Each structure stands twice: as C-alpha cells, then as structure tokens.
Amino acid sequence: MVEDRRPPAWEWTTELEGRERDELIALRAERDELLARVDELHVAAQKAHDREQALRRVVRELSSGPWWSRLAAGRRVRLRSRPAR
C-alpha cells in the first residue's frame, strides 16, 4: 500500500500567490461550466434515445401483425401527430 504524503488540496490553494490563485479559480469555474454542459448533453442524448425507441416501437407496430391492427395503429399515429388547436 502506498501512502500519499502530499498536503491536502485545500492547503495548496493557501500557498498560491495572486496570479496563480486567479488562474486556479478561473480553471475551476471553467471546469464547473464544462461539467454543467456535459450534464445538459447527457440529458439531450437520453431524450434523443427515448424518441428513437418510441419511433422504433411505432414502426414495429405499423409493420407487423394482421392488417386490421396495422390500420388501427396508423390511425392512432395520425391522431397523435395532429397539431393541437
């Protein structure tokens, strides 16, 4: 087992001088912004995946089974896709 003898990170910031401290603060702010953007992109990717799965379900429903169930599925899809009035 290796023992880490470095001082904790919060102690490093107290030793930094003006310009270094400002640079560290700016880098941390940039990191936080990037992490927030990654979270936004993850949510967008999940929504896109959910839409793709829903479309696959509809295509499967429209392309398989007896003709009367495909016809009913087509009606449901058309009713759902109509714009709200």
Percent of the chain's residues with pLDDT above 70? 85
* Higher-scoring residue by pLDDT: 60, 9: 60
Specify if 4 maps to a domain. no
Q: Does 50 map to a domain?
A: yes
Q: Residues with Cβ < 8 Å from 77, sequence gap 6 or more?
A: 58, 62
Q: Is residue 44 part of a domain?
A: yes
Question: At residue 9, does pLDDT exceed 70?
Answer: no
Distances (CA, A) of 39 to 29, 43, 49, 77: 15, 6, 15, 32
Helix 67-81, helix 18-63: angle, nearest 10 = 140
Range of the domain at 44: 11-81
Is 65 part of any domain? yes
Q: Is residue 58 part of a domain?
A: yes
Dihedral sign from CA coordinates of 76, 79, 83, 84? negative
For residue 40, pLDDT over 90 is answered with yes
Mean of the per-residue pLDDT values of the chain: 86
Question: For residue 6, is it within any domain?
Answer: no
Q: Quick check: 11 pLDDT over 60?
A: no
Average pLDDT over residues 22-40: 93
Report how many domains make up the chain. Answer: 1
